[in-house]
Every structure is written in C-alpha cells, then in structure tokens.
Amino acid sequence: MAAESLELLHARVCRAKARRAAWEPLWRECYSFALPQRAGGFAGDQAASVRFADKLFDGTAIDAVEQLAASLMAELVPPWSEWFGLRPGIDVPPEECGAMAEFLESIGRRLQGHFDRSNFAVEMHQCFLDLVTCGTAHLLFEEAPPGTSSAFRFTAVPVAEMFLDGDRGGEITRFYRVTTHTLQSLLDRVPAALLPASLADRVGDDPERPIEIVEAVEPEPGRGLRFVRFVPPGTAGAESGAILAEGYFETSPFHCFRWVKGAGELYGRSPVMAALPDIKTANKVVELVLKNASIAVTGIWLVEDDGVLNPANIRLQPGSIIPKAVGSAGLTPLQAPGRFDVSQLVLEDLRARIRHTLLVDRLGPTRGPKMTATEILERAAETSRLLGAVFGRLQAELLVPLVQRGLAILRRRGEVPVLSIDGRTVEIDYRSPLARAQARVDVQNTLMWLEAAGRLGPEAQAVIDARAAAIWLARALGVAGELVREDAPPMGVAGVGPLYGRAPENSDA
C-alpha cells in the first residue's frame, strides 16, 4: 500500500474518532452507574473504575443490567441449544424440499456444534452487557487455529476500542479498532521485517513502550472487504507509519449491533440511557440516606466551654468517662430538625421505574405458582411485543452475519459446500425462544381453526388438508427434518377424522 493510501486511511480513522467523541461523556456516565468495572476504559486507566465505584451507592441498575443481559442471552442465543437452522427457500421445488431439508439440517447441526464448542457463550454475554449499557456492542469473529475443537474464536471488543464510520443513513460500512501493544508483544506477533527499523531497534532499550495499532475493515469495490493492520503515521519511531498485515475478507470479522438506532446515527441508544435520570437520582437519595443514618448513629453534640471539658479528648464509646464541671450541662445531643422517612417512598418509586425501564419486571423469572398454558402464551406474546423491534434489529445486525461468517469459515476449511443464504434457495430458520414465541401463537391459532372446522361437518372438513397441516405444524414448532416424511402419499380428508376422534361421514374409513 502506498504512503498516500496509508495517510488517507489514517485520516478516516481520525474522522471516526471525532464522530464518536460526542458519545463518550454519555457512555462514561452509563458505565459508571450501571457497569462501573468498565467505566475506566475511556480514560485509558483501569484504576479509574475504582474511583467510579466509590461514588456508587445504589446497585439497582447494576442488578437490572445483569438480568436484562441474561434474559437476552436466553431469549436470542441460548447456550447449548439450537437457536438457528437452515431450510429450503421459496424457490426450491416442493418435490426437492424433503431431501434438501435433511441436507441443510445436517449442515446447520455442524455449524451449531462449532458455536457450542467455542467461547461464543462467554463473549456473547459480555457483548449483551455493553448493548444494554451503552446501546452498541462489538463482537470479533475470527477463525481459530487448526487443531482446536472449534473452528470459531470470538472476542468481545470493548466499546472504547471501536470506531465506526458509514453513510448518512446510519449504515455502518467501515470498522476501526484501535489497541495498544508493547514493543515486545508486538514483536512476538509480527515479524521483525514488517516493523520499521527505528521501532525494532528500540525493543532492547524499552520493551514495555506502548505502541498504537489500528485494525481497519473497509469495503473495496470488486474485491470484497479489505483488512489492514497498521501503525498509524506520526507514531514516534514510525513517523511515516507501517503496514503490519493486509488481506481481504468475504464477510466482515467485526459484528456491530445496536439496541435502538436514531435516524442518521451510527451508534445505538440503550435502555440505561433512558433510565439514567432515575438511576442518578436513586444513587443520590441512597447517599443522603446513608449520611442521615451516620448522623443518627453517631449524633451531633453540644458542649459548654466551661474550661474543664476538652472536646478533643472525648471518645464516644461504651464505658467511657467524660469529666464535666459542677453545674454544667456537659454533652447535649442536638435534635434533628426533621425526619427523613419520606426518602424510602421516593427510593422505592425510583427503583421500580429503573426495573421497569430495564424490563426486569417484565422479562424476569416468575415468582408465583406454575403458570397455565394460557399464561405462558400471554407471557410469550408480551415478551415478543417488548423485544420485537430490538429482535428485528439484532436479527439483521447480529444473527444473520454470524451464520454467514460461520459458513464462510467452514467453507474455507472444506467442511461445507458453497451455500447462498439469499432467502430464495436457502434461508435461516430462527429457533430461539423469542423467535418461537410468535410461532406458538400461530400454532395456537391454527389448532383452534382445525378444531372449529372439524366440528362444522363434512363440507368444512373437506377443506382441511391434514398432511399439509401436519407438515406446517412441524416447521412452525421446529421439528427436525428427518422426522417429517414430506414424500408420504396424501391421505385425503379421511385422515382428518382421527384428529378429533371420529371419521367424516363421507369417508371410506
């Protein structure tokens, strides 16, 4: 790559940094009150998170963020469970769907197995914590070294390291990750021939010297996605910059997904941002309650200056003897001007609003007795309504790119053939609990229709295709393809009767 191209690439990184700078103060506040252990990342000092934690007095937001992240994990990508599959698209002829469905099912299981054996569950949970807190999360999806149990390796990239750029509509087209390495660690990962001579010569003098490294993924027309890892120009010891690695990807290794996106915005908005006023107020109320409690325990005292009692020598502890002059009042407690009991009413209301905004009271586990089937359907419908918009965005920005990237890696290794997930030949079958919520509603409506039609007599029963209904129910409920015989001979309307305990009057059964 020419020096001019490297300068242009570095200029784009600087533009992405300037574009993100307006969000950083808001992110820092969200992290300091909801995820304080990560609040120091933007300052470049991990000890700063300790200072943020010292100012935190209420843990309602921290607990709510953990619960919402766990709920998202269980509803979207539950660990060790099939949360996706592959099925024939709408352009596949019906006579070929049976054999193709079984073939795609085996590929889906192979792909799911690599996800399960990798560190996907661990890193994905960290991404959901970032998503709930600041509204934007980043996942790095790489190919694992040969010989490992899984072909996939995941890394939850901190928000502080990622910079995005895109078009005016808010679509992300360029990814930049800025990290800091020491000279010695950089030399361990990169051949010395690729480093500038001025940097390589300083390893012996100062091996712990920090060096900024940028990883960029940009689209290049006609060649796919270009990946460049470089030392930016202007770095001491490498004033003109240096290219450390360069290549092309079929699919991006960086996956950026957002909670809620405003028009024209690159970065998302989080539920913690919506609850931030209540979180800060609740934190201040608890701080005042604790100060009032310390005053109530230790008290504030009045003392007469009689020349005998020395306040500097007074120790308020059991068994202590405090001298006083004859006739003097000695120590007298100062009465508080009022009570602070109203703080509990305010605090309970604030905590309830925080839990409501972070969906804890609506997505959390039930504490009552076992629910009936109707209650389960109603709860599933409520969950689908609450997370419908978020799930649609996560489906487009996370689930689809994950499956496409995984297939690209396995295809590169020769484990799967070339597949095009375009919705016409092959499409993704979402099987997560949240995706199944709508399917359960559709199944319930279909069963109600079948039951009602079965009671209307032979003419209504003649409309029902029991074989097609059974196949549709299997697909809606996520039944494995090998359990469904789509090439079975049709039974006609006579097969409908046993579903309701009696055969139609005009059947030969």
Q: Band of the pLDDT at 493, cuts 50, 70, 90?
A: very low
Q: What is the C-alpha to C-alpha distance for residues 128 and 131, in angstroms, rounded to an integer? A: 5
Whether the predicted pLDDT of 125 surpasses 60: yes
Instruction: Give the pLDDT of residue 380.
Output: 66
Instruction: Find out whether 69 and 125 touch, Cβ atoms under 8 Å.
Output: yes
Question: Mean pLDDT over residues 184-196, rounded?
Answer: 76
Residue 289 lies in a domain: no
Instruction: Find out whether 101 and 481 touch, Cβ atoms under 8 Å.
Output: yes
Read off φ and ψ for residue 339, nearest 5 degrees: -105, 160
Q: What is the C-alpha to C-alpha distance for residues 73 and 58, in angstroms, rounded to an integer? A: 25
**Total of domains in the chain:** 2
Residue 188 lies in a domain: yes
Residue 169 lies in a domain: yes
Residue 493 lies in a domain: yes
Residue 391 lies in a domain: no
Among 243, 271, 299, identify where a domain stops. 271
Which pair of structure tokens corresponds to residue 91?
């352009």
Q: Band of the pLDDT at 320, cuts 50, 70, 90?
A: low
Read off φ and ψ for residue 82, nearest 5 degrees: -75, 105
Whether the predicted pLDDT of 111 surpasses 60: yes
Whether the predicted pLDDT of 474 surpasses 70: yes
Instruction: Give the pLDDT of residue 470.
Output: 86
Residue 134 lies in a domain: yes
238 CB-near residues (< 8 Å, 6+ apart): 195, 196, 198, 199, 231
Instruction: Give the pLDDT of residue 108.
Output: 92
Instruction: Find out whether 189 and 178 touch, Cβ atoms under 8 Å.
Output: no
Among 239, 271, 303, identify where a domain stops. 271
Closest listed residue to residue 266, CA positions, set 274, 256, 276: 256
Read off φ and ψ for residue 176, nearest 5 degrees: -135, 125
Alpha-helical segments (H) within 299-432: 342-357, 360-363, 373-394, 400-413
Instruction: Give the pLDDT of residue 457.
Output: 82
The CA-based angle 496-498-504, given to 5 degrees, is 60
Mean confidence (pLDDT) of the chain: 81
Angle between helices 60-76 and 373-394 (to 10 degrees): 90
CB atoms near residue 129 (< 10 Å)? 24
Instruction: Give the pLDDT of residue 437.
Output: 73
Which pair of structure tokens corresponds to residue 438?
């709508």
Instruction: Find out whether 195 and 187 touch, Cβ atoms under 8 Å.
Output: yes
Read off φ and ψ for residue 178, nearest 5 degrees: -110, 120
Residue 41 lies in a domain: yes
Whether the predicted pLDDT of 507 surpasses 90: no
> 77: buried, middle or exposed (CB in 10 Å: 19+, 13-18, 0-12)?
buried
136, 429, 72, 156: CA torsion to nearest 10: -50
Residues 327-359: tens digit of each pLDDT? 676 667 666 655 556 677 789 999 999 998 998
Helices (H) and strands (E) counted in the chain, each on its own, are: 16, 12
Instruction: Find out whether 198 and 181 touch, Cβ atoms under 8 Å.
Output: no
Per-residue CA distances from 43 to 27, 38, 94, 219 (Å) = 12, 10, 59, 31
> 482: buried, middle or exposed (CB in 10 Å: 19+, 13-18, 0-12)?
exposed
Question: Mean pLDDT over residues 51-72, rounded?
Answer: 87
The region of weakest confidence among 264-268, 445-449, 504-508 is 504-508
* Range from 128-137, 361-370, 427-436, 500-509 that averages highest in pLDDT: 128-137
Instruction: Find out whether 461 and 453 touch, Cβ atoms under 8 Å.
Output: yes
Q: Which helix (H) or strand (E) holds 102?
A: helix 94-117
Which is more confident, 107 or 298? 107
Domain that holds residue 151: 3-60+117-271
Among 248, 271, 294, identify where a domain stops. 271
The region of weakest confidence among 109-123, 220-234, 239-253, 375-389 is 375-389
Closest listed residue to residue 278, CA positions, set 348, 343, 354: 354
Whether the predicted pLDDT of 496 surpasses 60: no
Residues 87-121, buried b or exposed e (16+ Cβ, 10 A)? bbbeebeeeebbebbeebbebbeebbebbbebebe
**242-249, strands of its sheet edge to edge:** 162-166, 172-182, 210-220, 224-231, 242-249
260 CB-near residues (< 8 Å, 6+ apart): 135, 268, 269, 270, 389, 390, 393
Radius of gyration of the chain (CA): 32
Residue 86 lies in a domain: no
